[in-house]
Amino acid sequence: MSRSPDTTTDPLWARIVVLALVAVFLAGVLILPLVSVFFEALRKGLPAALEAIATEDARAAIKLTLLTAAIAVPFNVAFGLCASWAVAKFQFPGKPFLITLIDLPFSVSPVVAGLIYVLVFGAQGWFGPWLLDHDIKIVFAVPGIVLATIFVTFPFVARELIPLMQEQGVDEEEAAISLGASGLRAFWSVTAPNIRWGLLYGVLLCNARAMGEFGAVSVVSGHIRGLTNTMPLHVEILYNEYDYVGAFAVAALLCFLAVVTLVLKSVLEIAQPRSRAGGH
């Protein structure tokens, strides 16, 4: 499409002003914070930063973060596949309402997400006394952290897959089934190849949020060092103890994860161009 220059291009001065404003804004809000994390982490040199990451508490936090993501992400993949199959491949009343319910955790404050599990499983909660009797700890323990993480990442995979599967319709699945494929076979050989990029995209965002969640996890964790501290919580503890190098060293590790996520995300967007708007 050729645009005639004077009618649809902004004058040079306007372009310069807009770009300058954007540059200042993005520098202050996005770029400098990112740079400052690595800068603060390396303030006392690389060895000090590496040492902070290698402490026993930090290692325990890293392990717990990985464990949490390793449970929450597969759970949400399974949920997302079920939900998108049910929603996209069948007609039933109340579908828009169901989609809204699936999206609900995005509109709930992370702190509230943590609170609800304290209210259900905490000592004062519905199942508190029963859990106490049976010596099961959910809140202020790893299960609570995992549950809260699942809650905040609940819609990620489903909301990627539902529109994608709706767009693709049911013809190919019906064709496979009319040719004798079982439901599972139709899913694996026909549906899965069509949704793999969207699924990967959802997993990527889900994983980033699962590893980085702070508010919800903070409420249910109990902040027991070496036991119920995830990486973001460990960052908080170190920061509040004025161990800035330590806090920023762990933060830099999380930053690195975020940057990798963004790079992979860009790659996926090139692999499968998306037209949909919005974020999370």
Partner 1 sequence: MTATYADSRDKPRRPLIHRRSAIPGFGITMGLTLASLSLIVLIPLAAVGLKAAEQSPADFLHAAFNERALTAYRLSFGAAFIAAAINGVFGLLTAWALVRYEFPLKGLVNGLIDLPFALPTAVAGIALATLYAPNGWIGSLAEPAGLKIAYTPLGVVIALTFIGLPFIVRTLEPVMRDLSADVEEAAASLGAGRLDTIARVVLPALAPAWLTGFALAFARAVGEYGSVIFIAGNMPYKSEIAPLLIVIELEQYDYAGAATIAVVMLVVSFAMLFVINAVQAWARRLSA
Partner 2 sequence: MTISIRSVEKRFGRYPALNGVSLEIADGELLALLGPSGSGKTTLLRVIAGLEFPSDGQILYGDQDMTFAGAAERRVGFVFQQYALFRHMTVARNIAFGLDVRKGAAKPGKAQIAARVAELLRLVELDGLGGRYPAQLSGGQRQRVALARALAVNPSVLLLDEPFGALDATVRKSLRKELRRIHDATGVTTIFVTHDQEEALELADRVAILNQGAIEQVGTPDEVHDAPAGAFVAGFVGEANRFAGEAKGGRFTLGDIVLRAGEVRDGPALAFVRPHELLVTDPGKGDLAITVAHIAPQGAVVRIEGATEGGQRIEAAIARQIAAGVHPGARLELAVSRAYVFPA
Residue selected from 63, 100, 129, 224 as contacting partner 1 according to rule CB under 8 A? 100
The stretch near partner 2 (CB under 8 A) out of 1-9, 171-179, 248-256, 267-275 is: 171-179
Q: Is 189 a residue that touches partner 2 (CB under 8 A)?
A: yes
> How many chain residues touch partner 2 (CB under 8 A)?
16
Q: Is 179 an interacting residue with respect to partner 1 (CB under 8 A)?
A: no
- Site membership for partner 2, residue 57 (CB under 8 A): no
User: Helices 192-212 and 155-168, interaxial angle, to 10°?
Assistant: 160
d(CA 66, CA 258) in angstroms, rounded, equals 14
258 neighbors 251 (Cβ within 8 angstroms): no
Residue list 56-85, contact with partner 1 (CB under 8 A): 78-79, 81-83, 85
Q: Which stretch binds partner 1 (CB under 8 A): 46-54, 56-64, 106-114, 195-203?
A: 106-114
* Residue 178 within binding range of partner 2, rule CB under 8 A: yes
32 binds, among partner 2, partner 1, none (CB under 5 to 8 A by kind): partner 1
CB of 128 to partner 2, least distance (A): 46
Residue 266 in the binding site for partner 1 (CB under 8 A) = yes
Answer whether 250's CB lies under 8 Å from 233's CB: no
Contact 189, 176 (CB under 8 A): yes
Query: Which of partner 2, partner 1, none sits in contact with 10, Cβ below 5 to 8 A by type?
Result: partner 1
Half-sphere exposure of 71 (CA within 13 A, CB side): 15
Q: Where are the alpha helices (H) located in the chain, listed in sequence order? A: 5-8, 12-26, 32-41, 46-54, 56-89, 95-103, 110-121, 128-133, 142-153, 155-168, 171-178, 183-186, 192-212, 215-221, 231-240, 244-271
Q: Which one of residues 1, 12, 179, 277 is an interface residue with partner 2 (CB under 8 A)?
A: 179
164 binds partner 1 (CB under 8 A): no
Question: Residue 225: helix, strand or coil by DSSP?
Answer: coil
176: contact with partner 2 by CB under 8 A: yes
- Applying CB under 8 A, the residues found at the interface with partner 2 are 171-172, 174-182, 185, 189-190, 193-194
